[in-house]
Structure 1
Amino acid sequence: MSSTRGSAEGLVLGVVLDAFLGDPRRWHPVAGFGRAASAVERRVYGDSRWRGAVYAGVLVGAAGAAGVVVERASRRLGVHALATAGVTWAVLGGTSLGREGLVMARLLEREDLDAARERLSHLCARDPRGLDARGLSRAVVESVAENTSDASVAPLVWGAVAGIPGLLMYRAVNTLDAMVGYRSPRYERFGWAAARLDDVANWVPARVTGGLVVLCGGSEAWRVLRRDGKEHPSPNAGRVEAAFAGALGVRLGGVNAYGGRVERRPEMGDGRAPEVKDIRRAVRLSAAVTFAAAAVIGVLR
Structure 2
Amino acid sequence: MTAGRAGRTVRPAALVLAVALDELLGEPPTRWHPVVAMGALLRRAERHVPAAPPGRALAAGGAAWSAGAVLSGASGVLLDRATARLPWPGAVLLQGTVLWTLLSGRLLRDEVAAVEEALAGSAAAGRHRVARLVSRDTAALDASQVRQAALGSLSENLCDSVVAPALAHAVGGLGAAAAYRFVNTADAMWGYRSPRFRHAGRVAARADDVANLVPARLSGLLLVGADPARLRRLPREAALTPSPNGGWPMAALALRLGVRLAKPGVYELHAVGREPGPADTRQALRLFRRATAATVLLLVVGGLLGRGRPGAAA
| Structure 1 counterpart of 2:308 | none
Q: Indicate yes or no: 2:78 matched with 1:73.
A: no
Report deviation, 1:232. Answer: 1.7
SS in 1 for 2:267: strand
The aligned counterpart of 1:260 is none
SS of equivalent residue, structure 2 residue 274: coil
| CA distance in structure 1 between the partners assigned to 2:209 and 2:129 by the alignment | 27
Once the two structures are TM-superposed, the CA of residue 46 in structure 1 deviates from its matched residue by: 4.3
What TM-score, normalized by structure 2, do the two folds share? 0.88
Counterpart residue identity of residue 95, structure 2: T
Give distance in 1, aligned partners of 2:271 and 2:289.
21
| Counterpart in the other structure of 1:293 | 295
Q: Distance in 2 between matches of 1:46 and 1:71?
A: 37
Task: Return the letter of the residue paired with 1:271.
Answer: G
Q: Does 1:7 align with 2:6?
A: no
Distance across 2 between alignment mates of 1:287 and 1:270? 26
Task: Tell me how far apart the structure 2 counterparts of residues 44 and 130 of structure 1 sit (CA, whole Å).
Answer: 33
Of the two, which has the highest radius of gyration?
2
Alignment partner for residue 204 of structure 2, among 194, 199, 202? Answer: 194
Instruction: Give the alignment partner of residue 35 of structure 1, picking from 26, 35, 40.
Output: 40
Instruction: Give deviations 1:256-287, integer Å, cap 9, x for gaps.
Output: xxxxxxx4214335321222332222122111
Amino acid in structure 2 at the alignment position of 1:296: L
Tell me the distance in 1 between the aligned counterparts of 2:268 and 2:129.
26
Could you tell which deviates more after superposition, 3-12 or 52-61?
Answer: 3-12
My pick for the range that moved more, 113-122 or 48-57, is 113-122
Q: Matches of residues 1-301 of structure 1 in structure 2 within 5 Å? A: 1-27=5-31, 28-47=33-52, 48-78=57-87, 79-110=90-121, 112-215=122-225, 218-255=227-264, 263-268=265-270, 270-301=272-303
| 1:21 CA drift (Å) | 0.8
Q: Determine the C-alpha separation between the residues in 1 that align with 2:159 and 2:203.
A: 20
Native 8 Å contact 1:12 1:297 kept in 2 = no
Which string of whole-angstrom CA distances, capped at 9 and with x for unpartnered residues, describes residues 176-232 of structure 1?
A: 1111111100010001100100010010000111121134x7445423313311222
In structure 2, give the amino acid aligned to 1:93.
S
Task: List structure 1 segments (4+ residues) > 3 angstroms apart after TM superposition.
Answer: 217-221
Q: Which runs of 5+ in 2 are unaligned?
A: 304-314
Taking only aligned residues, the RMSD between alpha carbons, in angstroms, comes to 1.6
- The secondary structure found in structure 2 opposite 1:77 is coil
SS in 1 for 2:137: coil
CA distance, structure 1, for counterparts of residue 276 and residue 232 of structure 2: 19
| Aligned residue identity for 2:130 | L
| Superposed displacement of residue 166, structure 1 | 1.0
| Partner secondary structure for residue 10 of structure 1 | helix
SS of the equivalent of 2:266 reads strand
Distance 1:264 1:92 in 2: 29
Number of paired residues?
292
Structure 1 pair 220–89 and aligned structure 2 pair: CA distance change class (3 A): farther
